[in-house]
Amino acid sequence: MNMNNSSDSEKVIVTERLCRNFQVRLKAEGLGASIRNFFKPVHKTVEAVKNLDIEITRGEIIGFLGPNGAGKTTTLKMLSGLLVPSSGSMRVLGHNPFERQTDFLKKISLVMGQKQNLWWDLPPLETFAIHKSIYQIEDNSYKERIDELISMLEIEDCLQTQTRRLSLGQRMRCELAVSLLHQPEILFLDEPTIGLDILMQKKIRSFLLDYHRRFRPTILLTSHYMDDVAALAQRVIVIDLGSKIFDGGLRELTDKIHPDKLISVIFNQLPADQLIKQIGKLVFNDGMYFKFRVKRSAVPEIAAKLYSTGQVADLSIEDPPLEDIMGQLFIAGASQTKSQP
């Protein structure tokens, strides 16, 4: 494939002070107000995306995160040319997405977990054939790609069934197949695992990792499942109330928000109170099982101390759950934004 003839550090997505507002009609309470509102509606402006600056390099997998209503879907729609920005600028693969040039559309794909690209009444195989002709994919490459996607996504059995009769997990995998048929250089994934059971979420994640390893597309992914983010994202961009509040590695995010680690220990005999006090803050205890919160930098020393007692049956060191970290970040982000004039 001729996807990577440009340098690895090529910026494929660049936005500057990107904004998108929506006018929403305010609901009026009571009959009188409703009637007045009908004749003279009152609107307010929602700033869904506010001065967003992002830069994404070819081949990156970015977790694009934020609470409900943060502006993620709006951003993805702008980047894929479905929505026109209110102000600011953006370049995606050197194009202005909202011009929707064929050349641009052939290089991207947008998959939305809540919406579908497959035709409801047709079996996926027929949607694939339609996609082939829309994207003018040659017979040989089509055959090769479809075979590869069918085997990677394990969708052999669903191809001839009407889409409406497929399970959510089967449909999602067929969605991914159709959106990848034209081998997009950029893949926008808006909650691709939403509503799927844990096993299916895992399958989709490992498919995406495998696909990325083979074809190196740039992926911008939103998800409310932190396991998706931990497994896939090399970098995370977090937005809240339309503005960016964090951009960096997951490790960096964890360190910044939560400089502590959790040490879980199972002792083989009840430890002395004095030892417990020396370790750190005890956050949980049940019989021989103890969980401590410990400063990141002190972990090696404390682990060594614990082992040296000869009373440790098992020991594990973890980061606090990513959900907790994100929760704290949103609280911090919201208060930061509120405190701005």
Site of interaction with Mg ion (CB under 5 A): 72-73
Stretch 13-42 residues interacting with ligand ATP (CB under 6 A): 22, 24
> Residue written as tokens 């009840």?
270
Considering only 62-70, 98-106, 145-153, 225-233, which stretch makes contact with ligand ATP by CB under 6 A?
Answer: 62-70
| 229 lies in the binding site for ligand ATP (CB under 6 A) | no
What is the distance in angstroms between the CA of the first residue and the CA of the last residue of the chain?
50
Q: Per-residue DSSP letters for 87-147?
A: EEEEEETTB-GGG--HHHHTTEEEEETTS--S-TTS-HHHHHHHHHHHTT--HHHHHHHHH
CB of 81 to Mg ion, least distance (A): 17
User: What secondary structure letter does DSSP report for 155?
Assistant: -
Closest residue by Cα to residue 240 from 333, 323, 332, 327: 333
| 70 lies in the binding site for ligand ATP (CB under 6 A) | yes
Query: How far, in Å, CA of 117 to CA of 179, rounded?
Result: 8
What, of Mg ion, ligand ATP, none, does residue 69 touch, CB below 5 to 8 Å by kind? Answer: ligand ATP
| 97 lies in the binding site for ligand ATP (CB under 6 A) | no
How many Cβ atoms are within 10 Å of 148's Cβ, its own excluded? 15
Which of 7, 68, 274, 297 touches ligand ATP by CB under 6 A? 68
Considering only 70-78, 85-93, 145-153, 291-299, which stretch makes contact with ligand ATP by CB under 6 A?
Answer: 70-78
Stretch 40-59 residues interacting with ligand ATP (CB under 6 A): 46, 48
Burial (CB < 10 A; 0-12, 13-18, 19+), residue 46, is middle
x/- map, 162-191, ligand ATP, by CB under 6 A: ------------------------------
Residue number, 201 or 223, with CB nearest to Mg ion: 223
Residue number, 168 or 209, with CB nearest to ligand ATP: 168
CB of 172 to ligand ATP, least distance (A): 16
Residues 233/63, Cβ–Cβ less than 8 Å: yes
How many Cβ atoms are within 10 Å of 7's Cβ, its own excluded? 8
x/- map, 247-276, ligand ATP, by CB under 6 A: ------------------------------
What's the Cα-to-Cα distance from 67 to each of 51, 267, 278, rounded to whole Å?
Answer: 18, 40, 38
Q: Which residues of the chain form contacts with ligand ATP (CB under 6 A)?
A: 22, 24, 46, 48, 66, 68-74
